[in-house]
Copies of this chain bind each other. A is one copy, B any other.
Amino acid sequence: MKTIKNYAKKNILIYNSLTNKKEKFIPIEYNKIGMYVCGPTIYNYIHLGNCRTFIFFDMLYRYFKHLNFKVKYIRNITDITHLELKLNCVNNQMEIIQKYLLNFYFILKKFNILSPNIEPRSTGHIIEQIINIKKILNKKFAYINKGSIYFDINYYNKIFGNYGNILNNIDLNKEVNLNNKFIEEKKNYYDFAIWKKSNYGMNWESPWGKGKPGWHIGCSTMSNKYLGNYFDIHGGGIDLKFPHHECEITQSNIINNNNYNLAKYWIHTNMLTINNKKMSKSLNNFIIPNDIINGKLNITNYKKINPIIIRLYFLQTHYRKIINISNKSLINTEKNYKILLNILKKIKKIKPKLKTSSNININNIYKIFYLSINDDFNIPLLIYNLFKINNIIDKCINKELNINFNDINKLYNLIKIFLIDILGLKFKKKRKINFKKIINKIYEIRNEMRKKKNYYFSDKLRNILNNFLCIKDNKI
């Protein structure tokens, strides 16, 4: 088993957005993984599409830890707001952040998402960001205009020539409409703010007057602070691939004086769409996690969905494929969830025979499971294989296949590792009991007793209901 695990550890394939191909995962430093994932902006509820990203990288984090890598997982919180047009008061901005930050924490707990090692906040790294901005300015890769500072893409491309083509495939010569009030301070359409002048609301003193750091510089700064100039994995939703990640890489190369492109592997999770449209805050078509969990959505016929089923829903589609949310697919996931949930119970039902030789090769199952995940985190394939194991277990129960006592325990542990430790499909400990049905059944029996004039027992049943449930006769 240890050998298999070590083999698995050395044979992970990751689709790298930097190279657009699957590559063998070799950590920069032996046995260690530094992983940075762009976290939420918290001036609104996170939407269900954001959760897909956080659930996927949570699974990665769990898998790497299971393989005994030493993982440093950093997921930032973007709490510098750019809502100054509506909210000029820092108190209001901070109140909004307070509300949505707590909501974020409680939602992620519902999805059984583990805490990353560190969740740095952009407001907690202003000085570090100012230092990085200074470095860029000193090297002439940025210019100041009206108190704001912009990264100079023309100058960068004169020297390096690759902005727009590092992670993406942007034709910078394609004409873009410059008649936009947001770009009036910029020399070039693709220039981006690394410092924004701001006299109202959230702002800080700086060598350039009052203002706040741009969004991109925050991620470059926090990833560097906690993972160094070059780390293993940088992840995020695919909507961040351009411009956010392209900008992060560009400015990091300048700050760090290298051409490492910040991280060795860049991983992007695909979108969650609704009616085949991207779910996003800007399009205002987003689903709030609590609404789907609490049954407030038309799309699920107002049925409450267990957040762990939503977790499985996201994981069972490959992370690089679009998911278009639908009730039908959610119902299917619920069925899958029940089948998966049942596997552990079924293993316990197998009648163990001490002396039987076993038809089941546990090591082989481990291999198949690891191979599935190792192929660019092919969780759909893993689930397919879990279903195959489910069939094998049925055959063991029906005695079509033999399994000995020892292998039953091994099989149980194996399934537990993949379902609970890695996929994070935490199962409720408490028995779910349809209480109302039981009560109604007892009433039925009681009424039948009364009809048959069996008052001695009918009274006993009534007493149970009265004493323990405080339910008065016929009031159910």
> Given that A91-B226, A454-B454 are contacting pairs, would A98 and B124 also be in contact in the complex, using a CB cutoff of 8 Å?
no
Q: What's the number of copies of this chain in the assembled complex?
A: 2
Residue A438 contacts which of B127, B437, B464 (CB distance < 8 angstroms)?
A: B464
Compute how far the CA of A438 lies from the CA of B123 in the bound complex, rounded to whole angstroms. 55
Q: Is the CB of B98 within 8 A of A434?
A: no
Residues of B within 8 A of A442 (CB): 442, 464
* A424-476, CB < 8 A from B: 431, 433-435, 437-438, 441-442, 445, 448-449, 454, 457, 460-461, 464, 468-470
**Which chain A residues in 196-250 approach chain B with CB under 8 Å?**
204-205, 225-226
Q: How far is the CB of A202 from chain B (nearest CB, A)?
A: 10
Chain B min CB distance to A452 (Å): 9
Q: Does A160 contact B (CB under 8 A)?
A: no
- Contact of B126 with A127 in the complex, beta carbons under 8 Å: yes
> Which among B90, B99, B226, B441 is the interface contact of A464 at CB below 8 angstroms?
B441
Is A118 part of the contact surface with B, judged by Cβ < 8 Å?
A: yes
Q: Which of A101-109, A294-302, A315-323 forms part of the interface with chain B?
A: A101-109
Chain A interface main SS type: helix
In the complex, the answer to whether A468 meets B454 with C-beta atoms within 8 Å is no
Contacts of A461 in B (CB 8 A): 445
The yes or no answer to A32 lying at the interface (CB within 8 A) is: no
Q: List 21 A-B contacts (CB under 8 A).
A: A90-B225, A91-B117, A91-B118, A94-B117, A95-B118, A98-B115, A98-B119, A124-B124, A126-B126, A126-B127, A431-B469, A431-B470, A433-B469, A434-B468, A438-B464, A438-B469, A441-B468, A445-B457, A448-B457, A449-B457, A454-B457
In the complex, besides A121-B121, A438-B469, A442-B464, 20 extra interface pairs with C-beta distance below 8 angstroms are A79-B124, A94-B118, A94-B120, A94-B226, A95-B117, A98-B115, A102-B105, A102-B115, A121-B123, A126-B127, A127-B127, A127-B204, A431-B470, A434-B468, A437-B468, A438-B464, A441-B464, A445-B457, A445-B460, A448-B460
